[in-house]
Amino acid sequence: MTAPVRLNPAGRSAQRSYQDELDHGRFRIQCCGACGHNNFPPRELCPGCGSPDLKWLQPSGGGSVYAVTTVRRKQEAGGDYNVSLIDLDEGVRMMSRVEGVAPSDVRIGIRVRARILQQAGGALVVFDPLEEPAP
């Protein structure tokens, strides 16, 4: 984790700042300068203390699957995929997906590592498993 930096110029929303950073290959979460609470998703005020003193920090990228579901799609529509809630090591939870394994192999508790996926329409954070799924 790196030291927090301020990225929200006047008039630019926290969500826009977050997406701009992702589009430039940098994954960030917020940290409150007043109470030290880490925040995700991006906000304008700290949900812990209400302070506007939110800075951005680069998380370690490590986390664990908290919950997972498989979304079923026809093969011609891209096939099945998972939607997962990931608890980052910094204490925040985010919705994403785990890639590199079959959707049915994503299990609660597996360790994952964040990766930025660049795609048309904007970058997003996805996760890769750090361990092999149990048989």
* Single pTM value for the model: 0.85
First to last CA, the chain: 33
> Of 123, 76, 56, 134, which Cα lies nearest the Cα of 101?
134
CB 56 within 8 A of CB 29: yes
Tell me phi and psi for residue 4, to 5 degrees. -65, 145
> What is the rounded CA–CA span in Å between residue 10 and residue 60?
28
pLDDT band at 131 (very low <50, low <70, confident <90, very high): confident
pLDDT tens for 57-79 read 999 999 999 999 999 999 999 89
Residue type, 69: T
> Of 22, 29, 96, 26, which Cα lies nearest the Cα of 65?
96
State the DSSP H helix or E strand holding residue 16, giving kind and residue range, or none if neither.
helix 14-23
pLDDT tens for 87-104 read 999 999 999 999 999 999
Can you tell me the mean pLDDT for 103-111?
A: 95
Residue with tokens 């099945």: 80
> What is the rounded CA–CA span in Å between residue 62 and residue 127?
9
